[in-house]
Chains A and B, each alone.
Chain A
Amino acid sequence: MSGLLLAVVLVPLLLAPLVVHPAWRWLVLIAPLPALASLALLPPDATLELPWLLLGTALGLDETTWVFLLFTTLVWSLAAVPVVERLGTAAGTGRFRLLFLLALAGNLWLILAREPVGFYVGFAIMGLAAYGLILHPGGLMRRRAGRVYLAMTLIGELALFVALLLMAQTQGVTWSLPATSAPDGTVIALLLLGLGIKAGLMPLHPWLPLAYGAAPAPAAAVLSGAMSKVALLGWLRLLPLGQVALPEWGMLFVWLGLVSLLVALGVGLVQTDPRRVLAYSSISKAGLFVLLLGLLLLEPTLTPIGVGALTLYAAHHALVKSGLFLGLGLRDLDPARPLVRAGLILLALALAGAPLTSGALAKSVAKPVLVSPGWIWLDLALMLATVATMLLMARFVWLIWPAPGVDDGHRGALPMLRTSNDTQAPVGSQPAFPIWSLAAWILLLGLVAGFPFVLGEPSAWPTNAGAMLIAGLIAAPLALAIWRRAPGSGRRVRRRSLGDLVVLIEPILAAQLWTGRALFGRWNATVEAARAHLYSLGERVGSPPPDPERTLRAWPTAGWLWLGVTVLLLLLVLVAP
């Protein structure tokens, strides 16, 4: 029975080559099914040992894993519907589906993995495959976003790899740091760096607004919903939570979390693209996760509550955020469809943590941890963050509201109105509205709406009502003024990429690079001159003896040799015990 766990990972991997063919694209829908089946059929502590694979692979479930697997699978299954229906058979979609399944396989593998090697391999497959998802269907903006994503992901993976290596050095290939009084600071710092990039923690966030803004709707949905939660899972698994109090690292997590939480909200408020608004909201939520982790590191006794709260929060955020991205994809086809708009507003309310939504439930569950240190200023900062989150979501709703004049009449020409996401809408004459994608999305809406009532106590429902009121008092006059076209409201906020550190860093890097090249060129010229001098000296002495190695150094030979050796090594690794 526990062989099903292997199928969870293996089925997407095996299906991946098949879905390249347009006729078999529906196979994408099947790929997440084994995961759903294993959730339904397997006991919550099923494990599977595969000692012959890699350094000894083990797959298994526990409580946290179960929840992560559940929401991850849900997000992937629901995102698979528009991949099949919306993206259709256009050029390049075969590649997209292939990478989609590879990323899915990686994501599921790392969730199920019970040892660091499997975790890292899944993490790497997922991270690299997602590069192709962001690039689809090409274009300058996406290439730039992809480049930044790839560079940062590679840095993150390297850091994670080193951290895992260091851990393996001290304790062998097992989970979780040892319960010694002084865990290695380097490991924690590397984990923070490696997984912080995936989560989008400030200042490691620059890839996130670019990638979310550029990726197609289903890709953005899985990126934000499923893949970025992986960082949280990694922290929960690898940090020594609940074993020792680590005030040093706890304070660092608290500090970084607070900065992310507050700064990202401020930056998000001045964005003009709804996708970027959502991206900054993701960054601020990553800050909240890190803040909670920091509080757990400060106060280990809270770990059981804290881990549960974090898991629940992750589930809520994954469902809501992926729903928002999928909904944006639907909205781009037809901005005036009231059902889509109403659904988006519901999701935005949930993300803002309005009373009676999943956000309020998640907040109320996390509250015991948040108030644990008893710092007044932390409470105030969190209150501020709650209000600002609501304002950010108000801004989001404002941005998705169709421009005046769009409502009345000409619905057909709408896809052309959006310029920033030109390729989202299928080019061509009057495409049919993707009914199945809409149905899947409505299913997700139902899940989100039912979330607080199924899981939460009634006492958790009215959380955040006060903050909601304050946010309303701030936002309502503004909305009124802009809606009524007050003088001056037409003036746009000066466009500013305050948060896009990339914009500021790129010229600096370019300058550094330029100088490096200039200096290197100088150096090269000197070396060349010296070499020419030496050669002329050598020729005076006589021609050198024939070099038997030269044939081996020719490019084709060397390439084949390298590939052969690599394959041989791989085979040895797979076969060797």
Chain B
Amino acid sequence: MSDIKKFMYLNRRAPYGTIYAWESLEVVLIGAAFDQEVSLMFADDGVYQLVKGCDTSESDMKNFMPTYRTLGDYGVRYMYVDQASLEARGLTADDLIEVAWEDWETEEEVDNIVEVVDSAKVTELMAESDVVFSF
């Protein structure tokens, strides 16, 4: 086996209107098979991908928002949200979905891996990632 790398998926676009959010989500789901340390970062309009209560029923689009809640099962350990992007859109952490994580072997549990971080932390997290996939 190769060394574990830190993968970060950077999501900067609104969930619908373009294919980017769904494509990113699919890559995360498929990439889970590779056993890397995976984190997701949501910034700019990407923060809308995690807003609770999205209803796509009148848009003829599949609502894939529930899929984010299973990401903990797909090896995603951290989901970071840029605080400045949230504030600029009048949103707070309370508007976001919660995603649980559990290590199936050790039974270690985390109730919510969604974390709001400030700009300095965003920079730091991106710098320490081995690979950043930008969507």
The judgment on whether A and B are partners is: no
